């Protein structure tokens, strides 16, 4: 019995460690001080409320600082992007200003060239108008010939009169050629006399006599050169003016005769309408009736205002085509043409109506006035009769300008070449085009420009293709 307490103590001591670990699994000291040992050997102490508040405040401050730094970085990036964008815009504006400056300088240079060209054209046109006015057939003579043809009913005699007028014009042209040859012979004779004066100079002993002979020779040379230059310039103008006047006169005469014939045919048609209708009624009806031809739908001609940039010939052709395709009666031709007039031309047509004592009644004026006569009066008042002369002047002085590209030169020359009666031959066109193209291109096409079979169209196409 005395051994049981001893066994109890032994059992108690053996179980004490297990009971201690069950009561304090983290350790007595750690449990009492609220400490936790980590696997790595470190230990932590649970937060107190004060420590938690401090930690929360520190965390908030760190987040605020990080957010502020992030905003600063974004702000700097935006500022850098804005500076780059402003630099790009500034560079673009500088390039645009430089381009505008170059264009302005180019426009000023072109305006200066155009002003110089315009002055040259005005001077040349003034000289040619003065010279052409002496050779152009007066309107009174043309009207007298037209009245003579109207009064002549025999077509053979009318044809004889027309041929007689043609012969008169040919005679005038022949006289002009003869005059040109005489002037050339005179100039050659004066030059020969100047050559003979050299012997007189050698025969003169004193210096004063030699100087007088030289002065007379120089004066003769200057006069001969001036006469040759003025005569050479005037001959082409004279011949073109004569041809222009003759063709205009012949065209007006043909139009007048054609309108008279058409008017008489229309009168015959109206006179025979009753007989034709009666014959149709009396004749047996055919099984199938031929379809009636409807008039062609054509756009009404554009209004003609009489301005310089408008083309009277094109407008006249449009009106003639319209009245023909719409099968309009000749009594209404002038009325249709009046509706295609505007502004100053319409006022002029009304004044013609008043002069014919029709009291602003264009219907009555249309019945008594042929369309060709109406066109003739409008042409005398508004048409630009010097258009071909101006085109010829521009073509002959086109090499005075500085052309930067052959394509631009070809475009201008093509527009001038389509003007009728400009009088510049194909060989002259080739030479003028070659002289006007840029200097770097002339060496490549010198041989081709000298070929006798070369045409302006072929040479211009080859130059533009080579430049491209």
- pLDDT interval class at 234 (50, 70, 90): low
- Whether the Cβ atoms of residue 302 and residue 340 lie closer than 8 Å to each other: yes
Instruction: Indicate whether 28 pLDDT > 80.
Output: no
Q: pLDDT over 90 for what percent of the chain?
A: 0
Q: Could you tell me which of 121, 134, 382, 158 has the C-alpha nearest to residue 254? A: 158
pLDDT above 70 (res 137): no
Write phi, then psi, for 304 (nearest 5 degrees): -110, 125
Give 135's pLDDT tier (boundaries 50, 70, 90). Answer: very low
Residue 194 has pLDDT above 80, yes or no: no
Render pLDDT for 43-79 as a digit per residue (tens, 0 to 9): 555 556 677 778 788 888 888 888 888 888 888 888 8
Q: Are 20 and 26 in contact (CB under 8 A)?
A: no
Q: How far apart are CA 106 and CA 408, in angstroms?
A: 15
Average model confidence (pLDDT) across the chain: 73
A 10 A CB-CB count for 366 gives 23
Q: Round to whole Å and give the CA distance between 262 and 260.
A: 5
Lowest mean pLDDT among 130-134, 222-226, 339-343: 130-134
Question: Could you tell me the pLDDT band of residue 284, with boundaries at 50, 70 and 90?
Answer: very low
> Two tokens at 175?
């006289």
CA distance 243 to 249: 10
- As a whole number of angstroms, the distance between CA 81 and CA 75 comes to 10
Tens-place pLDDT, residues 322-339 = 888 888 888 888 888 888
Whether the pLDDT of residue 109 is over 70: the answer is yes
Confidence of residue 173 (pLDDT cuts 50, 70, 90): low
SS3 track for the chain? CCCHHHHHHHHHHHHHHHHHHHHCCCCHHHHHHCCEECCCCCEECCCCHHHHHHHHHHHHHHHHHHHHHHHHHHHHHHHHHHHHHHHHHHHHHHHHHHHHHHHHHHHHHHHHHHHHHHHHHHHHHHHHHHHHHHHCCCHHHHHHHHHHHHHCCCHHHHHHHHHHHHHHHHHHHHHHHHHHHHHHHHHHHHHHHHHHHHHHHHHCCCHHHHHHHHHHHHHHHHHHHHHHHHHHHHHHHHHHHHHHHHHHHHHHHHHHHHHHHHHHHHHHHHHCHHHHHHHHHHCCCCCCCCCCCCCCCCCCCCCECCCCCCCHHHHHHHHHHHHHHCCCCHHHHHHHHHHCECCHHHHHHHHHHHHCCCCCCHHHHHHHCCHHHHHHHHHHHHCCCCHHHHHHHHHHCHHHCCCCCHHHHHHHHHHHHCCCCCCCCHHHHHHHHHHHCCHHHHCCCHHHHCCCCCCHHHHHHHHHHHHC
Q: How far is CA 162 from CA 173, 253, 370, 406, 423, in A?
A: 17, 9, 21, 46, 25
Most confident region among 85-94, 194-203, 234-243 by mean pLDDT: 85-94
HSE, side-chain direction, 13 A CA sphere, residue 36: 6
174-189 burial, b at 16+ Cβ within 10 Å, e below that, comes to: eebeeebeebeeebee
Q: What is the pLDDT of residue 289?
A: 46
Question: Could you give the CA distance from residue 125 to residue 388 in angstroms, rounded to a whole number?
Answer: 11
Q: What per-residue confidence (pLDDT) applies to 288?
A: 43
Please tell me the total number of residues recorded for the chain in this structure: 468
Instruction: Report yes or no: 26 and 46 within 8 Å, Cβ to Cβ.
Output: no
Burial of 116-129, coded b for 16+ CB within 10 Å and e otherwise, reads: ebeeeeeebbeebe
User: How confident is the model at residue 317, as a pLDDT?
Assistant: 84
CA 245 remoteness from chain centre: 30
The first and second tokens of residue 154, run together, are 């025999």
Please state which of the ranges 276-285, 423-432, 457-466 shows the lowest mean pLDDT: 276-285
Q: Is the pLDDT of residue 202 over 70?
A: no
**Poorest-confidence range of 4-13, 153-162, 341-350?**
4-13
Query: pLDDT-based confidence at 283, cuts 50/70/90?
Result: very low
| pTM flag (> 0.85) | no
Q: What per-residue confidence (pLDDT) applies to 247? A: 60
Q: What is the radius of gyration, based on Cα positions, of the chain?
A: 52
pLDDT(287) > 50: no
- Mean pLDDT of all residues in 348-364: 82
In this prediction, residue 324 carries a pLDDT of: 85
pLDDT exceeds cutoff 70 at 123 = no
Q: Is the pLDDT of residue 368 over 80?
A: yes
Confidence of residue 353 (pLDDT cuts 50, 70, 90): confident
Report CA-CA distances (Å) from 164 to 147, 167, 170. Answer: 16, 5, 10
Could you tell me which residue, 210 or 439, shows the higher pLDDT?
A: 439
């Amino acid at each position: 019995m005395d051994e049981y307490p001893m066994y109890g103590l032994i059992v108690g001591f053996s179980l004490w460690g297990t009971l201690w670990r069950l009561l304090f699994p983290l350790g007595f000291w750690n449990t009492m001080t609220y400490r936790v040992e980590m696997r790595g050997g470190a230990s932590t102490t649970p937060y107190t409320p004060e420590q938690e508040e401090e930690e929360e405040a520190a965390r908030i401050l760190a987040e605020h600082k990080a957010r502020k730094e992030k905003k600063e970085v974004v702000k700097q990036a935006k500022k850098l992007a804005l500076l780059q964008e402003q630099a790009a815009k500034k560079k673009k504006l500088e390039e645009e200003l430089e381009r505008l400056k170059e264009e302005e300088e180019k426009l000023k240079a072109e305006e200066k060239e155009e002003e110089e060209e315009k002055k040259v054209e005005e001077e040349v046109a003034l000289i040619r108008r003065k010279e052409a006015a002496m050779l152009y057939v007066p309107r009174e003579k043309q009207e007298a010939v037209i009245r003579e043809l109207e009064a002549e009913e025999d077509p053979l005699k009318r044809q004889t009169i027309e041929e007689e007028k043609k012969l008169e014009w040919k005679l005038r042209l022949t006289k002009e050629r003869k005059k040109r040859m005489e002037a050339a012979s005179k100039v050659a004779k004066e030059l020969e006399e100047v050559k003979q004066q050299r012997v007189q100079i050698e025969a003169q002993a004193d210096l004063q006599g030699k100087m007088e002979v030289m002065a007379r020779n120089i004066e003769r040379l200057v006069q001969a050169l001036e006469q040759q230059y003025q005569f050479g310039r005037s001959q082409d103008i004279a011949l073109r003016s004569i041809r222009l006047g003759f063709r205009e006169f012949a065209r007006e005469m043909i139009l007048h005769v054609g309108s008279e014939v058409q008017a008489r045919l229309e009168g015959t048609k109206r006179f025979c309408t009753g007989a034709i209708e009666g014959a149709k009624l009396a004749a047996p009806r055919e099984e199938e009736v031929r379809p009636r031809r409807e008039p062609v739908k054509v756009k009404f001609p554009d209004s003609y205002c009489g301005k310089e940039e408008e083309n009277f010939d094109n407008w006249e052709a449009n009106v003639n085509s319209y009245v023909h395709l719409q099968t309009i009666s000749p009594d209404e031709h002038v009325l249709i043409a009046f509706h295609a007039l505007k502004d100053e031309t319409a006022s002029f047509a009304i004044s013609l109506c008043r002069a014919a004592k029709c009291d602003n009644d264009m219907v009555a004026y249309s019945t008594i006035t042929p369309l060709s006569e109406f066109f003739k009066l409008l042409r005398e008042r508004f048409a630009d009769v010097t258009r071909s002369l101006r085109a010829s002047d521009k073509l002959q002085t086109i090499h005075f300008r500085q052309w930067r590209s052959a394509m631009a030169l070809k475009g201008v020359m093509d527009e001038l070449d389509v003007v009728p009666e400009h009088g510049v031959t194909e060989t002259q066109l080739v030479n003028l085009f070659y002289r006007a193209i840029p200097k770097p291109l002339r060496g490549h096409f010198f041989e081709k420009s000298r070929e006798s079979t070369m045409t302006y169209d072929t040479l211009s196409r080859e130059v533009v293709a080579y430049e491209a």
